[in-house]
Structure 1
Amino acid sequence: MAYSHDNRVKYVVRYLYDIDNNGILDKNDFKCLAVRNTIVETKGDFPAERFAQNAKIMDDLWNEIALLADFDKNGEVDSDEFKKAVADNCVGKDYASFPPAFKVFIENQFKAIDVDGDGTVNIEEYRQDVITRSAFADVAEIDEAFKALNGGAGVTLDRYKELYAQFLGNKDETPSKFLFGPLKEL
Protein backbone atom coordinates (compact mmCIF):
# COMPACT_ATOMS: atom_id res chain seq x y z
CA MET A 1 0.00 0.00 0.00
CA ALA A 2 2.96 2.31 -0.55
CA TYR A 3 0.97 4.25 -3.16
CA SER A 4 -2.34 4.51 -1.32
CA HIS A 5 -3.63 8.05 -0.91
CA ASP A 6 -3.20 7.80 2.87
CA ASN A 7 0.46 6.81 2.52
CA ARG A 8 1.12 9.54 -0.05
CA VAL A 9 -0.21 12.19 2.34
CA LYS A 10 1.84 10.75 5.21
CA TYR A 11 4.86 10.87 2.91
CA VAL A 12 4.37 14.59 2.24
CA VAL A 13 4.15 15.31 5.96
CA ARG A 14 7.16 13.21 6.92
CA TYR A 15 9.57 13.98 4.09
CA LEU A 16 8.59 17.41 2.78
CA TYR A 17 7.19 19.43 5.68
CA ASP A 18 8.46 17.84 8.91
CA ILE A 19 12.01 19.10 8.43
CA ASP A 20 13.01 18.66 12.08
CA ASN A 21 11.66 15.07 12.07
CA ASN A 22 9.70 15.33 15.32
CA GLY A 23 6.53 13.79 13.87
CA ILE A 24 4.43 16.97 13.77
CA LEU A 25 4.37 20.17 11.78
CA ASP A 26 4.95 23.40 13.64
CA LYS A 27 6.43 26.86 13.18
CA ASN A 28 9.97 25.49 13.60
CA ASP A 29 9.63 23.31 10.49
CA PHE A 30 8.86 26.38 8.43
CA LYS A 31 11.80 28.32 9.91
CA CYS A 32 14.00 25.39 8.91
CA LEU A 33 12.46 25.41 5.42
CA ALA A 34 13.40 29.09 5.07
CA VAL A 35 17.03 28.25 5.85
CA ARG A 36 17.00 25.26 3.49
CA ASN A 37 15.34 27.16 0.64
CA THR A 38 17.81 30.04 0.95
CA ILE A 39 20.81 27.72 0.80
CA VAL A 40 19.37 25.72 -2.11
CA GLU A 41 18.32 28.79 -4.12
CA THR A 42 21.70 30.47 -3.70
CA LYS A 43 23.66 27.25 -4.23
CA GLY A 44 25.26 27.28 -0.79
CA ASP A 45 25.43 31.00 -0.15
CA PHE A 46 23.29 32.63 2.55
CA PRO A 47 22.47 36.27 1.74
CA ALA A 48 20.58 37.92 4.61
CA GLU A 49 18.09 39.66 2.32
CA ARG A 50 17.16 36.43 0.53
CA PHE A 51 16.79 34.65 3.86
CA ALA A 52 14.54 37.46 5.14
CA GLN A 53 12.31 37.03 2.07
CA ASN A 54 12.18 33.26 2.52
CA ALA A 55 11.54 33.60 6.27
CA LYS A 56 8.55 35.86 5.55
CA ILE A 57 7.20 33.46 2.91
CA MET A 58 7.57 30.48 5.23
CA ASP A 59 6.08 32.33 8.21
CA ASP A 60 3.05 33.23 6.09
CA LEU A 61 2.91 29.65 4.83
CA TRP A 62 2.92 28.24 8.37
CA ASN A 63 0.17 30.64 9.42
CA GLU A 64 -1.97 29.54 6.49
CA ILE A 65 -1.28 25.83 7.06
CA ALA A 66 -2.19 26.31 10.73
CA LEU A 67 -5.49 27.92 9.72
CA LEU A 68 -6.25 25.05 7.35
CA ALA A 69 -5.04 22.15 9.47
CA ASP A 70 -4.48 22.96 13.16
CA PHE A 71 -7.98 21.93 14.12
CA ASP A 72 -7.29 21.70 17.87
CA LYS A 73 -5.40 25.04 17.84
CA ASN A 74 -2.40 23.72 19.77
CA GLY A 75 0.25 25.21 17.46
CA GLU A 76 1.00 21.84 15.88
CA VAL A 77 -0.36 19.90 12.92
CA ASP A 78 -0.19 16.15 13.27
CA SER A 79 -0.53 13.68 10.43
CA ASP A 80 -4.26 13.14 11.01
CA GLU A 81 -4.96 16.89 10.97
CA PHE A 82 -2.93 17.28 7.78
CA LYS A 83 -4.81 14.39 6.15
CA LYS A 84 -8.12 16.06 7.02
CA ALA A 85 -6.90 19.37 5.59
CA VAL A 86 -5.87 17.61 2.37
CA ALA A 87 -9.26 15.87 2.19
CA ASP A 88 -11.06 19.19 2.73
CA ASN A 89 -8.92 21.32 0.43
CA CYS A 90 -7.28 19.11 -2.20
CA VAL A 91 -9.12 15.84 -2.89
CA GLY A 92 -11.02 16.07 -6.14
CA LYS A 93 -9.51 19.45 -7.03
CA ASP A 94 -7.04 20.65 -9.61
CA TYR A 95 -3.99 22.75 -8.79
CA ALA A 96 -5.75 26.07 -9.41
CA SER A 97 -8.24 25.21 -6.64
CA PHE A 98 -5.58 24.44 -4.03
CA PRO A 99 -5.13 26.85 -1.10
CA PRO A 100 -2.41 29.47 -1.66
CA ALA A 101 -0.26 27.94 1.09
CA PHE A 102 -0.09 24.63 -0.73
CA LYS A 103 0.73 26.35 -4.02
CA VAL A 104 3.61 28.34 -2.50
CA PHE A 105 5.08 25.19 -1.02
CA ILE A 106 4.71 23.25 -4.26
CA GLU A 107 6.39 25.96 -6.32
CA ASN A 108 9.25 26.26 -3.81
CA GLN A 109 9.66 22.49 -3.84
CA PHE A 110 10.00 22.58 -7.63
CA LYS A 111 12.67 25.30 -7.39
CA ALA A 112 14.62 23.19 -4.93
CA ILE A 113 14.59 20.20 -7.29
CA ASP A 114 15.38 22.21 -10.45
CA VAL A 115 19.00 22.65 -9.39
CA ASP A 116 20.20 24.19 -12.65
CA GLY A 117 17.25 26.59 -12.75
CA ASP A 118 16.35 25.88 -16.37
CA GLY A 119 12.64 25.38 -15.62
CA THR A 120 12.67 21.61 -16.11
CA VAL A 121 13.49 18.79 -13.73
CA ASN A 122 15.64 16.33 -15.67
CA ILE A 123 16.43 12.76 -14.68
CA GLU A 124 19.65 13.72 -12.88
CA GLU A 125 17.85 16.33 -10.75
CA TYR A 126 15.03 13.88 -10.06
CA ARG A 127 17.52 11.24 -8.91
CA GLN A 128 19.23 13.75 -6.61
CA ASP A 129 15.90 14.67 -5.04
CA VAL A 130 14.64 11.11 -4.64
CA ILE A 131 17.74 9.78 -2.89
CA THR A 132 17.47 12.42 -0.17
CA ARG A 133 14.42 10.64 1.27
CA SER A 134 14.97 6.90 0.69
CA ALA A 135 17.66 4.31 0.13
CA PHE A 136 17.90 2.45 -3.17
CA ALA A 137 20.15 -0.43 -4.18
CA ASP A 138 19.56 0.17 -7.91
CA VAL A 139 19.09 3.42 -9.82
CA ALA A 140 16.86 1.61 -12.35
CA GLU A 141 13.94 1.78 -9.89
CA ILE A 142 14.29 5.56 -9.72
CA ASP A 143 14.67 5.90 -13.49
CA GLU A 144 11.53 3.84 -14.14
CA ALA A 145 9.58 6.09 -11.78
CA PHE A 146 10.83 9.17 -13.64
CA LYS A 147 9.80 7.70 -16.98
CA ALA A 148 6.32 6.98 -15.62
CA LEU A 149 5.84 10.68 -14.76
CA ASN A 150 6.22 12.12 -18.21
CA GLY A 151 7.39 9.44 -20.61
CA GLY A 152 11.00 10.18 -19.70
CA ALA A 153 10.82 13.82 -20.75
CA GLY A 154 11.76 16.48 -18.23
CA VAL A 155 9.11 17.76 -15.85
CA THR A 156 8.27 21.45 -16.22
CA LEU A 157 6.77 23.56 -13.44
CA ASP A 158 3.30 23.31 -15.01
CA ARG A 159 3.58 19.52 -15.23
CA TYR A 160 4.93 19.39 -11.66
CA LYS A 161 1.92 21.35 -10.42
CA GLU A 162 -0.42 18.99 -12.25
CA LEU A 163 1.34 15.92 -10.86
CA TYR A 164 1.40 17.32 -7.33
CA ALA A 165 -2.32 18.09 -7.51
CA GLN A 166 -2.96 14.49 -8.58
CA PHE A 167 -0.60 13.15 -5.89
CA LEU A 168 -2.63 14.87 -3.14
CA GLY A 169 -6.00 15.32 -4.79
CA ASN A 170 -6.65 12.04 -6.55
CA LYS A 171 -7.24 8.98 -4.39
CA ASP A 172 -6.56 6.71 -7.37
CA GLU A 173 -3.07 5.61 -8.28
CA THR A 174 -1.98 7.68 -11.28
CA PRO A 175 1.55 8.23 -12.63
CA SER A 176 1.75 11.08 -10.11
CA LYS A 177 2.37 8.44 -7.44
CA PHE A 178 6.02 8.58 -8.58
CA LEU A 179 6.40 12.35 -8.12
CA PHE A 180 8.82 11.79 -5.23
CA GLY A 181 10.23 8.54 -6.55
CA PRO A 182 9.34 5.00 -5.57
CA LEU A 183 7.63 5.28 -2.18
CA LYS A 184 8.00 3.12 0.88
CA GLU A 185 5.04 2.30 3.09
CA LEU A 186 4.98 4.47 6.21
Structure 2
Amino acid sequence: MKQVLQHRIDSTFAHYDVNRNGVIELADVYALADRLLRAFGEPASSERGRELVEAYDRFWEMLVEHCDADRDGRIGPAEYRDAMIEAVVDNGPFGTDFLEIVQSLLDIADTNGDGRVDATEFQVLLKARGLSEAECGLAFAHLDTDGDGAISVQEYVAAVRDYYTNPAEDTPGSWLYPKALECTGLSH
Protein backbone atom coordinates (compact mmCIF):
# COMPACT_ATOMS: atom_id res chain seq x y z
CA MET A 1 0.00 0.00 0.00
CA LYS A 2 2.64 2.53 1.04
CA GLN A 3 4.73 1.62 -2.03
CA VAL A 4 1.84 2.43 -4.41
CA LEU A 5 1.27 5.83 -2.80
CA GLN A 6 4.99 6.65 -2.78
CA HIS A 7 5.17 5.66 -6.45
CA ARG A 8 2.28 8.03 -7.22
CA ILE A 9 4.09 10.88 -5.47
CA ASP A 10 7.26 10.08 -7.40
CA SER A 11 5.26 9.93 -10.65
CA THR A 12 3.77 13.38 -10.09
CA PHE A 13 7.25 14.67 -9.30
CA ALA A 14 8.34 13.35 -12.71
CA HIS A 15 5.33 15.10 -14.29
CA TYR A 16 6.27 18.42 -12.67
CA ASP A 17 9.97 18.08 -13.57
CA VAL A 18 9.23 19.03 -17.17
CA ASN A 19 12.85 19.63 -18.21
CA ARG A 20 13.99 16.35 -16.60
CA ASN A 21 16.90 17.85 -14.64
CA GLY A 22 15.96 16.08 -11.41
CA VAL A 23 14.41 19.07 -9.62
CA ILE A 24 11.22 21.09 -9.87
CA GLU A 25 11.95 24.74 -10.59
CA LEU A 26 9.92 27.77 -11.56
CA ALA A 27 10.76 27.09 -15.23
CA ASP A 28 9.06 23.69 -14.94
CA VAL A 29 5.92 25.24 -13.50
CA TYR A 30 5.83 27.80 -16.33
CA ALA A 31 6.31 24.98 -18.84
CA LEU A 32 3.26 23.24 -17.37
CA ALA A 33 1.26 26.47 -17.61
CA ASP A 34 2.42 26.92 -21.21
CA ARG A 35 1.34 23.35 -22.02
CA LEU A 36 -2.15 24.14 -20.75
CA LEU A 37 -2.30 27.50 -22.52
CA ARG A 38 -1.47 25.76 -25.80
CA ALA A 39 -3.97 22.98 -25.10
CA PHE A 40 -6.75 25.51 -24.52
CA GLY A 41 -5.57 27.73 -27.39
CA GLU A 42 -5.27 30.61 -24.96
CA PRO A 43 -2.55 33.26 -25.35
CA ALA A 44 -0.68 34.13 -22.15
CA SER A 45 -1.55 37.78 -22.77
CA SER A 46 -5.33 37.22 -22.63
CA GLU A 47 -7.23 37.66 -19.37
CA ARG A 48 -7.76 33.90 -19.04
CA GLY A 49 -4.12 33.27 -19.94
CA ARG A 50 -2.92 35.72 -17.29
CA GLU A 51 -5.22 34.07 -14.75
CA LEU A 52 -3.71 30.67 -15.54
CA VAL A 53 -0.14 31.99 -15.26
CA GLU A 54 -1.05 33.69 -11.97
CA ALA A 55 -2.54 30.41 -10.70
CA TYR A 56 0.69 28.64 -11.58
CA ASP A 57 2.68 31.39 -9.87
CA ARG A 58 0.63 30.68 -6.73
CA PHE A 59 1.17 26.95 -7.25
CA TRP A 60 4.94 27.55 -7.39
CA GLU A 61 4.82 29.71 -4.26
CA MET A 62 2.86 26.97 -2.49
CA LEU A 63 5.36 24.32 -3.61
CA VAL A 64 8.33 26.40 -2.45
CA GLU A 65 6.70 27.20 0.87
CA HIS A 66 5.84 23.60 1.66
CA CYS A 67 8.40 21.55 -0.28
CA ASP A 68 11.66 23.50 -0.61
CA ALA A 69 13.19 22.50 2.72
CA ASP A 70 16.65 23.94 1.99
CA ARG A 71 15.20 27.15 0.41
CA ASP A 72 17.38 26.95 -2.71
CA GLY A 73 14.55 27.57 -5.18
CA ARG A 74 14.70 23.97 -6.37
CA ILE A 75 12.62 21.07 -5.12
CA GLY A 76 14.32 17.69 -5.18
CA PRO A 77 12.52 14.34 -5.17
CA ALA A 78 13.01 13.72 -1.44
CA GLU A 79 11.81 17.23 -0.54
CA TYR A 80 8.73 16.77 -2.71
CA ARG A 81 7.99 13.29 -1.38
CA ASP A 82 8.32 14.33 2.27
CA ALA A 83 6.18 17.44 1.80
CA MET A 84 3.47 15.62 -0.14
CA ILE A 85 3.22 12.90 2.49
CA GLU A 86 2.85 15.57 5.18
CA ALA A 87 0.56 17.86 3.18
CA VAL A 88 -1.77 15.43 1.47
CA VAL A 89 -1.39 11.98 2.97
CA ASP A 90 -1.19 13.28 6.56
CA ASN A 91 -3.76 16.09 5.92
CA GLY A 92 -1.24 18.89 6.30
CA PRO A 93 -1.04 22.54 5.23
CA PHE A 94 -1.98 22.73 1.52
CA GLY A 95 -5.69 23.38 2.16
CA THR A 96 -6.76 26.89 1.17
CA ASP A 97 -3.93 27.59 -1.27
CA PHE A 98 -4.61 24.37 -3.09
CA LEU A 99 -8.35 25.07 -3.34
CA GLU A 100 -7.67 28.47 -4.93
CA ILE A 101 -5.30 26.95 -7.46
CA VAL A 102 -7.75 24.20 -8.38
CA GLN A 103 -10.51 26.80 -8.78
CA SER A 104 -8.31 28.84 -11.12
CA LEU A 105 -7.42 25.75 -13.13
CA LEU A 106 -11.05 24.73 -13.49
CA ASP A 107 -12.02 28.31 -14.39
CA ILE A 108 -9.53 28.16 -17.27
CA ALA A 109 -10.85 24.74 -18.29
CA ASP A 110 -14.39 26.19 -18.45
CA THR A 111 -13.86 27.46 -21.98
CA ASN A 112 -17.53 28.10 -22.72
CA GLY A 113 -17.98 30.15 -19.53
CA ASP A 114 -21.02 28.29 -18.24
CA GLY A 115 -19.52 27.80 -14.79
CA ARG A 116 -19.06 24.06 -15.28
CA VAL A 117 -16.21 21.88 -16.55
CA ASP A 118 -17.85 19.31 -18.80
CA ALA A 119 -16.30 16.17 -20.30
CA THR A 120 -14.99 17.94 -23.42
CA GLU A 121 -13.35 20.73 -21.41
CA PHE A 122 -11.90 18.31 -18.88
CA GLN A 123 -10.51 16.21 -21.71
CA VAL A 124 -8.35 19.13 -22.88
CA LEU A 125 -6.92 19.47 -19.39
CA LEU A 126 -6.18 15.75 -19.07
CA LYS A 127 -4.76 15.42 -22.59
CA ALA A 128 -2.29 18.20 -21.72
CA ARG A 129 -1.34 16.02 -18.75
CA GLY A 130 -0.71 13.08 -21.09
CA LEU A 131 -3.88 10.99 -20.94
CA SER A 132 -5.17 9.35 -24.09
CA GLU A 133 -8.65 10.17 -25.36
CA ALA A 134 -9.97 6.87 -23.97
CA GLU A 135 -8.33 7.52 -20.58
CA CYS A 136 -9.89 11.01 -20.54
CA GLY A 137 -13.38 9.57 -20.91
CA LEU A 138 -12.79 7.02 -18.18
CA ALA A 139 -11.24 9.65 -15.92
CA PHE A 140 -14.21 11.98 -16.36
CA ALA A 141 -16.67 9.18 -15.60
CA HIS A 142 -14.77 8.34 -12.41
CA LEU A 143 -14.25 11.94 -11.24
CA ASP A 144 -17.82 13.09 -11.86
CA THR A 145 -18.90 11.37 -8.67
CA ASP A 146 -22.29 13.12 -8.44
CA GLY A 147 -23.12 12.31 -12.07
CA ASP A 148 -24.11 15.88 -12.99
CA GLY A 149 -22.00 15.96 -16.17
CA ALA A 150 -19.35 18.31 -14.75
CA ILE A 151 -16.28 18.25 -12.55
CA SER A 152 -16.54 20.53 -9.53
CA VAL A 153 -13.71 21.89 -7.41
CA GLN A 154 -14.84 19.56 -4.64
CA GLU A 155 -14.77 16.53 -6.93
CA TYR A 156 -11.33 17.46 -8.27
CA VAL A 157 -9.85 18.10 -4.81
CA ALA A 158 -11.37 14.84 -3.53
CA ALA A 159 -9.79 13.01 -6.48
CA VAL A 160 -6.37 14.55 -5.76
CA ARG A 161 -6.60 13.54 -2.10
CA ASP A 162 -7.75 10.08 -3.21
CA TYR A 163 -4.80 9.79 -5.62
CA TYR A 164 -2.32 10.41 -2.82
CA THR A 165 -4.08 8.45 -0.05
CA ASN A 166 -5.93 5.51 -1.63
CA PRO A 167 -3.76 2.86 -3.30
CA ALA A 168 -6.71 1.16 -5.01
CA GLU A 169 -6.62 1.03 -8.80
CA ASP A 170 -10.14 2.04 -9.78
CA THR A 171 -10.92 5.04 -7.60
CA PRO A 172 -11.59 8.59 -8.85
CA GLY A 173 -8.07 9.76 -8.01
CA SER A 174 -6.40 6.86 -9.74
CA TRP A 175 -7.50 8.40 -13.05
CA LEU A 176 -5.80 11.82 -12.67
CA TYR A 177 -2.55 10.80 -14.40
CA PRO A 178 -1.82 8.43 -17.27
CA LYS A 179 -1.81 4.81 -16.19
CA ALA A 180 1.53 4.28 -17.97
CA LEU A 181 3.02 7.14 -15.94
CA GLU A 182 1.66 5.72 -12.71
CA CYS A 183 2.70 2.15 -13.45
CA THR A 184 6.15 2.74 -14.90
CA GLY A 185 7.28 6.02 -13.42
CA LEU A 186 7.64 7.43 -16.93
CA SER A 187 6.45 10.93 -17.58
CA HIS A 188 5.25 12.76 -20.65
TM-score (norm 1): 0.70
Contact 2:58 2:101 in 1 (8 A): no
- Write out per-residue CA displacement over residues 47-93 of structure 1, whole angstroms, 9 at most, x where no aligned residue: 49x74x76665445434422311123332102221111011111143
Matched residues, number: 178
Match of 2:140 in 1: 146
Contact 2:13 2:24 in 1 (8 A): yes
Amino acid at match of 1:126: F
Contact 1:145 1:181 in 2 (8 A): no
Q: Aligned residues: percent identity?
A: 21
SS of equivalent to 1:155: coil
SS of equivalent to 2:89: coil
Contact 1:142 1:182 in 2 (8 A): no
Amino acid at match of 2:21: N
The CA RMSD measured in Å over matched residues stands at 3.6
- Once the two structures are TM-superposed, the CA of residue 14 in structure 1 deviates from its matched residue by 3.0
1:158 maps to which of 151, 154, 165 = 154
Match of 1:109 in 2: 105
Change (3 A) 1:141 1:166: closer
Match of 2:85 in 1: 87
Change (3 A) 1:106 1:22: farther
CA–CA distance in 1 between the matches of 2:140 and 2:45?
31
Change (3 A) 1:166 1:83: same
Amino acid at match of 2:70: D
Amino acid at match of 1:175: P
CA–CA distance in 2 between the matches of 1:101 and 1:25?
19
TM-score (norm 2): 0.69
CA–CA distance in 2 between the matches of 1:100 and 1:32?
24
Match of 1:177 in 2: 174
Amino acid at match of 1:44: P
Structure 2's unaligned 5+ residue stretches are: none
**99-108 vs 34-43, which moves further:** 34-43
Q: Does the alignment pair 1:118 with 2:105?
A: no
Structure 1's unaligned 5+ residue stretches are: none
Amino acid at match of 1:5: L
Change (3 A) 1:183 1:118: farther
- Once the two structures are TM-superposed, the CA of residue 163 in structure 1 deviates from its matched residue by 1.7
- Once the two structures are TM-superposed, the CA of residue 6 in structure 1 deviates from its matched residue by 2.2
Contact 1:89 1:98 in 2 (8 A): yes
Contact 2:143 2:155 in 1 (8 A): no
1:73 maps to which of 38, 55, 71 = 71
Change (3 A) 1:26 1:148: same
**124-133 vs 35-44, which moves further:** 35-44
